[in-house]
Every structure is written in C-alpha cells, then in structure tokens.
Amino acid sequence: MLNMNINSALITGSGRGMGRAIALRLAQEHIPVIINDLDKRLGEETQKLIQDSGGICSLKIGDAADEDFVDDMVENSVSEYGSVDILVNNAGVLRPTPIVDITLAEWEFVIKGNLTSTFLCTKKVIPAMKKNNWGRIINFSSTAGKNISTVGGAHYTAAKAAILGLTRHTAKEVARFGITVNALCPGLINTEMVRATISDELVAQYANSFPIQRLGEPDEVADLVMFLASDKASYITGASLDINGGDLMI
C-alpha cells in the first residue's frame, strides 16, 4: 500500500521491459504515472495499457540524458500533478563490445544513457520532493555494478558501478528531507535488452547456471520497486538491493 499523498511517479525508459512493468504496477495503485521513453511507439503502447486498465498517465517522449528535455519533463509534470514524488531511474542502454573495440562515442553513449540520465533526473526532482518532505528515488544499477556485466561491456559495468556511488552520496545528502534513494541490482531479467543481445541458447545456459534456475521476470522487479516506494521502506536508504536468483551473493 503506497502513501496516499503521492501525486505522481516518473519512470524513465518505461516504453518496455522493467520500466513498463513498474509503470503498470504503480498505475494499478492509482498513482498517476509519467511514462518516458526515447521510442514513441513503445511509449504509446505503455500509455494505452495503462489507460485501458483505467489508470492515469502522461507520455513524455525524449532522452532522459538530455538536460533541457529533463528540465521540461519534470517542470511540466510538477505543473500537471503538483509534484513528482517517486522517480524510477530505469532508462539504460547496453552494448556487449570488448573494451579494445569500444569507441569514445560508444563509451559516452553508454555512460550517458545509464549514469547521466540518472544524475539529471535525480537533480531535477529533488527540489520539489524537498518541499513536500517526502520522496522516493529508485535507481537501476545491476549485478554489473557489484561484479561485472554478464552480457554488457566495460562501459556498462563502469556506469552501473558509478550509479551505486551516486545512490549512496545522494541518499546521504537528502535523507533529512524525507527522501530515500536506493539502487536495485538485477541479475539477468527476461526483457528485450537481454533478448536482443544474446541468443536464446545462451540465455538458457545462463539461466541454468543460476541457483534459481531461470531468468527473473519484470514483474518480480516491479514488486521490489513497489516495496521501496512504500512507507514500509522508510528506513532503507543508500542501499543496493540484489534481485538475481542467487547469481551473486555478497
């Protein structure tokens, strides 16, 4: 059960995958949802799913790593709903390139898509959350952030590790304003990001290698987000929570 005073939740990259599952789950709890994605078709699909099930949402198509776009997206959302109380920094991009083949452009693309997007959206929502003395920021790191990526390259691992540092530091700065900041570290989750990167055969091999012998499902990650967004999680901040079927136990 979520706090009754939540005006809206913003989920970056919610056109598909875990972001979509989280947006749908929040909307089921009667939270107005701001869907963001780079891809208009995917964003509209999520929007339709939410509206068809009676939920309230707005669609903001654009790059969560572009400062001007993020400024407009958050300002418009605050005007529309009064505040953005939950931010899920879910948008991310993965490339499987070996380090010697990573161009500077690809390095910057992956760092921007994962880390800079998280920084920009976090920075922008905090002032409004401070006013309400309540907020939830949930960042997407990965098992890659604690170990190395299963399918991504060094840039992805570096970005996801940096998100853990960004999470801890921000959590400490904003704790006194009633804002918690936590990171999720999913293992291999059954989404397009994985399916588009590795073969079904490799997916099956990885699945069998995990103590819980399967991939995670987006809905299972959405459950954890719902818990972190709730008042039941009010004493958890600066944490990184593993959800990986036992792939990494530290």
Q: Which of residues 193-232 bind ligand NAD (CB under 6 A)?
A: 193-194
Q: Which residue has the tokens 């400062």?
A: 67
> Cα(170)–Cα(167) distance, rounded to whole angstroms?
5
Is there binding between residue 122 and ligand NAD (CB under 6 A)? no
61/180 Cα distance (integer angstroms): 27
Nearer residue to ligand NAD within complex by CB, 17 or 135: 17
Q: Quick check: is 235 catalytic? A: no
Chain centroid, CA 190 distance in Å: 15
CB nearer to ligand NAD: pick between 122 and 134: 122
Q: Which of residues 125-164 bind ligand NAD (CB under 6 A)?
A: 140, 142
Stretch that binds ligand NAD, among 1-9, 62-70, 95-103, 225-233 (CB under 6 A): 62-70
Quick one: which of 2, 64, 73, 222 contacts ligand NAD (CB under 6 A)? 64
The CA distances from residue 119 to 25, 122, 185, in Å, are 24, 5, 17
Q: For residues 238 and 171, is the Cβ–Cβ distance under 8 A? A: yes
CA 23 to chain centre: 11
* Contact residue for ligand NAD among 10, 65, 78, 87 (CB under 6 A): 65
AA letter at 209: S
Check binding of 59 to ligand NAD (CB under 6 A). Answer: no
Structure tokens belonging to residue 53: 């099930």
The catalytically annotated residue of 81, 156, 206, 235 is: 156
| Shorter beta-carbon distance to ligand NAD: residue 32 or 92 | 92
Q: Distance between CA 230 and CA 235 in Å, rounded?
A: 11
> Contacting ligand NAD (CB under 6 A), which of 33, 129, 188, 222?
188
Q: Which is nearer to ligand NAD, 37 or 85 (CB)?
A: 37
Q: Could you tell me if 57 and 27 are in contact, meaning their C-beta atoms sit under 8 angstroms apart? A: yes
Among 9, 10, 11, 19, binds ligand NAD (CB under 6 A): 19
Q: Report the catalytic residues.
A: 156
